Structure 1
Amino acid sequence: MKKKLFIGGEWLEADTYFTLKSPYNGEAIAEIPMASEQEVDRAITAAYEARETMARMPAHKRWAILDSLSRLLEQRADEAARIIATEAAKPIKTARAEVDRTVQTYRFAAEEAKRIHGETLPLDAAPGGEGRVAYTVREPLGVVGAITPFNFPMNLVAHKVGPAIASGNTLVLKPASQTPLSAYFIAELLEQAGLPAGALNVVTGSGSKVGDKIVQDERVKVITFTGSPPVGIGIRNRAGLKRVTLELGSNSAVIVDKGVPVSKIVPRCVTGAFSFQGQVCISLQRIYVHEQVYDDFVTEFVKVTGGMKSGDPLDPDTDITAMISPGDVSRSLEWIEEAVDHGAKVACGGKAEGNVLEPTVLLGVEAVSKVSCQEAFAPIVLINKIRDLQEGIRLVNESRFGLQAGIYTENIHNALEAAEKLHVGGVIVNDIPTFRVDHMPYGGVKESGFGREGVKYAIEEMTELKLVVFNRN
């Protein structure tokens, strides 16, 4: 299968291609175009020329396009899930869940297209404001440059494409090199849904050519990026006065307070730690358990982890499969070894077969170990003992990241204290930090980035507030 660039409503051959291979078995999947700087420029030009068409499009038409897209995707959900499972090595049952969420994300975007509005202002609240009427409106910024990661190749694309179309912007989309098929699939569906030519352009290729051109071109007014902190910081430094939204890394943690029924929460924590091999921005990486329930928690956690099945991502019974690259497996094993060298104990896992790393549970990990203080992005979780809630909050906050954190507690006062003192973008009470639904505000503090996604909030990032004042005197 040979794919083409999607530019200005046309499918175009590129001069060069690379072979996309399965992370699970190394088999060739497709030939993917490598866009040149000239082709990226052509995509930006197409988006720039289409910006007025999209800005003038009435809300009901933007709603209709996005609603049609969600229906088309729902009809082809099985095909979409197989694309994700094949290119990302995501277990098929997890891929199906992603497609379901993607349908919902586009439906939320369709609904929000009809709810973009401003407010009236009482100017007579200030001396000299008498006899004046004021209101605000939100206007699209123009061309959105969207750069997306491999781990949610369909839904994280939706979190950029959906709000951009809903708010009347145009896009140039660069999907991750390992997972471009999902983005091209959505482009095909949007073409069927009636999106005007040039409103969405999909270009694949190297970050140094495609990404840098998108970031630095003055016609692009918004950059929305999900990926690693070093790349995100580099984008921010080069973006100038562009509006920039960054969703970066995390080493998300949960606190388990005393008195919590361990058997009830462990399966949920195991899911949070190992879903899609831990390659999730808010994957549960650190667990801090009160000393009164620590031993029971560890015993149950290891037992449930041992029941997970590794195998082919297309097998509906598979829980764990290949990581995205051999390099990530090697790095993960090195980080596990480093933690053990500093006194940690491997309760289970710690080994790899090919690209499949066993789900790994580490106990007694020092805070300076990479598996604790950096983003593992692997099926690795640490479980450490704490004396009280205050120690747990301190350990969660002693991180350069701050995306989401969770706390399990039966004590309302402890829940409120954690909600107040945890320095993160979202606090989840009585659930794992991996919880997310697609219309809630989502984003972090510190090196986890800035700006918020969640369709309504992304629309705010992609629009400009304009004030209009009438003098009736």
Structure 2
Amino acid sequence: MEHAAADRTDPKPFWLAGEPAHGDEPLDVRHPYDGRLVGRTSLATPDQVEQAVAAAHRVVPQAAALPAHRRAAALDHISARLAQRADEIARLITAENGKPLKWARAEVTRAVSTFRWAAEEARRFSGDLQRLDTDPAATGRIALVRRVPRGVVLGISPFNFPLNLVAHKVAPAIAVGAPIIVKPAPATPLTALLLGELIAEVTEPEGPESGLPAGMVSVLPVPNDRAGGLVADPRLPVVSFTGSGPVGAQIRRAVPDKHVTLELGGNAAAIICEDWTGDEELTWAAQRIATFSNYQAGQSCIAVQRVYVHEWLYDGFLPRLVDAVRALRVGDPADEATDVGPLINEGAAERVESWVDEAVAAGATIEVGGRRDGATYPPTVLTGVPADAKVLTEEVFGPVLVVVRVADDAAGFAAINDSAYGLQAGVFTRRLQTAFTAHRTLAVGGVIVGDVPSYRADQMPYGGVKGSGVGREGVRSAMDDYTDPRVMVLTGLDL
């Protein structure tokens, strides 16, 4: 116990150009569930931030020239080390983020896969050949199109997935040979710093012989009000931001000449289509929706927030959903049996509470839930919600689910599209034609057929339209975002 206490109170270093460092200003990290101290680090000073940016900028040519086997080997090493320390990392995620241990373990498993997939992509990131002799004037010509790094990436990550959303910025950068500076969320820096420790194991401080060059990766705790200088720095031509819509929009306005990718969340919807009629089907859909509207206390940009149900299925579906939500266990996220833990802090829970209270005052009915306890807000189902209520039009980012009756599938699709956001949607149907209609009709980045919108495979393109952002995450998609195509035309060839 004495050793554990020392671990909590001894400040963890951050990682400046692959080396451990400490700043002058302490940063305490507390458990969202009970407020206890779970760890300490420090904020990088402006001089330290400058050192990291300068080192990353300096190493751009060296990083871009790394052979594929070196980039892939580094990524494989990080993946293996995450797997070796999986339980420790999962418990750290739970401690600083508050998500139940079962979901923290799932996040570590995904991060292991993200780095492994990036290693595989690094090995096959080869470019394309294009015949140009399709036109008589280009006889004897062929084009080789390869992608080259745009330069240093600034990765800004949120609190809700403190490991895997950092992985989705770091792994593609290493895969293409782009230096990256990571700014983790101030509420959850410790997991990113542990990842920085693992990356340092494959960083060569005296110059690369088998690993990554020093300067290629820095992980710096920086307060949000000091992030503007990093965003504006011309030596960081790529900004990859995951977080709130207003901040993302501000970034995009501030640096219109940079390549900016934004994953800004949404108010994800699911629809129970008219053919989804069986008792087992309805029960399964209710269980999936109950789970994935609450699995990170609703703090996921693809957590189910809106459910549209065909009118003649509504009365049979709603009780199943309410029962499934009521069965979720709320409590200490360190308990293996807990399904739903606290929100990131009490202020977030108070905001969710105020939005629900506002909807109820306007005529909504609470079917289950609805009573806050500190930073914990219980899984809540609302019906009869007015069309202009925040819980329906904005991103709740909490364990709140709105159920709406619709006349038919077309009306449900129109209701899903009646949103400022467009990240992913879930379509519960067995009909192939309905699936294709949904894919054509729904203005979202991804349509998940037969399941909730919360499904994500880490190799697939992931992102949204409208207020949900621009660009795509997913390892290969991010690799494309971090690079520019460069064409070489060969002339005089006998093709």
Which of the five TM-score ranges fits, normalised by the shorter chain?
A: over 0.9
- 1:462 corresponds to which residue? 482
> Structure 1 residue aligned with 2:260, among 235, 244, 247?
244
> Structure 1 residue aligned with 2:103, among 87, 91, 94?
94
Residue 411 of structure 1, CA deviation: 2.8
> Structure 1 residue aligned with 2:460, among 423, 437, 440?
440
Counterpart CA distance in 2 for 1:122 and 1:300 is: 58
Instruction: After TM superposition, list the pairs within 5 Å mapping 1:398-417 onto structure 2.
Output: 398-417=418-437
User: Do residues 166 (structure 1) and 175 (structure 2) align?
Assistant: yes
Is residue 133–residue 472 contact of structure 1 (8 Å, CA) maintained in 2?
no
> Structure 2 residue aligned with 1:112, among 112, 121, 134?
121
> Structure 1 residue aligned with 2:377, among 357, 377, 380?
357
Displaced runs of 4 or more, over 4 A:
none
Counterpart CA distance in 1 for 2:21 and 2:323 is: 52
Residue 418 of structure 1, CA deviation: 1.3
- 1:83 corresponds to which residue? 92
Secondary structure class of the residue paired with 1:3: coil
User: Do residues 229 (structure 1) and 245 (structure 2) align?
Assistant: yes
> Structure 1 residue aligned with 2:354, among 324, 327, 334?
334
Secondary structure class of the residue paired with 1:383: strand
Is residue 37–residue 213 contact of structure 1 (8 Å, CA) maintained in 2?
no
Counterpart CA distance in 2 for 1:212 and 1:115 is: 36
User: Do residues 424 (structure 1) and 444 (structure 2) align?
Assistant: yes
> Structure 2 residue aligned with 1:128, among 121, 137, 150?
137
Residue 308 of structure 1, CA deviation: 1.2
Counterpart CA distance in 2 for 1:190 and 1:10 is: 10
- 1:393 corresponds to which residue? 413
Is residue 60–residue 152 contact of structure 2 (8 Å, CA) maintained in 1?
yes
- 2:20 corresponds to which residue? 11
Counterpart CA distance in 1 for 2:160 and 2:106 is: 13
Alignment TM-score, normalising by the size of structure 2? 0.93
- 2:218 corresponds to which residue? 201
Q: 2:245 is matched by which residue type in structure 1? A: P
Which moved further from structure 2: 436-445 or 184-193? 184-193
Counterpart CA distance in 2 for 1:111 and 1:367 is: 46
Q: 1:196 is matched by which residue type in structure 2? A: P
Counterpart CA distance in 2 for 1:70 and 1:51 is: 24
Once the two structures are superposed, what CA deviation does each residue of 1:335-385 show, in whole Å capped at 9, x if it has no partner?
001111221110000111111101000012122100000000000000111
- 2:6 corresponds to which residue? none
Residue 32 of structure 1, CA deviation: 2.4
Is residue 41–residue 213 contact of structure 1 (8 Å, CA) maintained in 2?
no
Counterpart CA distance in 1 for 2:202 and 2:315 is: 55
Is residue 18–residue 199 contact of structure 2 (8 Å, CA) maintained in 1?
no
Give structure 1 stretches of 5+ with no counterpart: none
Counterpart CA distance in 2 for 1:436 and 1:105 is: 12
Residue 400 of structure 1, CA deviation: 0.4
Secondary structure class of the residue paired with 1:142: coil
Residue 127 of structure 1, CA deviation: 4.3
Secondary structure class of the residue paired with 1:274: coil
Counterpart CA distance in 2 for 1:319 and 1:106 is: 27
Counterpart CA distance in 2 for 1:258 and 1:123 is: 50
Counterpart CA distance in 2 for 1:348 and 1:133 is: 65
Counterpart CA distance in 2 for 1:233 and 1:317 is: 39
Is residue 253–residue 288 contact of structure 1 (8 Å, CA) maintained in 2?
yes
Q: 2:84 is matched by which residue type in structure 1? A: Q
Secondary structure class of the residue paired with 2:239: strand
> Structure 2 residue aligned with 1:25, among 34, 37, 40?
34
Is residue 259–residue 293 contact of structure 1 (8 Å, CA) maintained in 2?
no
- 2:288 corresponds to which residue? 268
Counterpart CA distance in 2 for 1:353 and 1:240 is: 43
Q: 2:246 is matched by which residue type in structure 1? A: P
- 2:77 corresponds to which residue? 68
Once the two structures are superposed, what CA deviation does each residue of 1:58-102 show, in whole Å capped at 9, x if it has no partner?
001101000011011101000010110000001001100000010
Q: 1:203 is matched by which residue type in structure 2? A: L
Is residue 273–residue 380 contact of structure 1 (8 Å, CA) maintained in 2?
yes
> Structure 2 residue aligned with 1:52, among 52, 58, 61?
61
- 1:220 corresponds to which residue? 236
Q: 1:129 is matched by which residue type in structure 2? A: A
- 1:318 corresponds to which residue? 338
Residue 179 of structure 1, CA deviation: 0.8
> Structure 2 residue aligned with 1:255, among 250, 271, 291?
271
Q: Identical aligned pairs, as a percentage?
A: 43
Q: 2:185 is matched by which residue type in structure 1? A: A
Which moved further from structure 2: 114-123 or 293-302? 114-123
Counterpart CA distance in 2 for 1:347 and 1:116 is: 51
Q: 2:486 is matched by which residue type in structure 1? A: K
User: Do residues 378 (structure 1) and 402 (structure 2) align?
Assistant: no
Residue 415 of structure 1, CA deviation: 2.0
Q: 1:198 is matched by which residue type in structure 2? A: G
Q: 2:230 is matched by which residue type in structure 1? A: I
Residue 436 of structure 1, CA deviation: 0.4
Q: 2:487 is matched by which residue type in structure 1? A: L
Residue 292 of structure 1, CA deviation: 1.1
Residue 414 of structure 1, CA deviation: 2.1
User: Do residues 291 (structure 1) and 311 (structure 2) align?
Assistant: yes
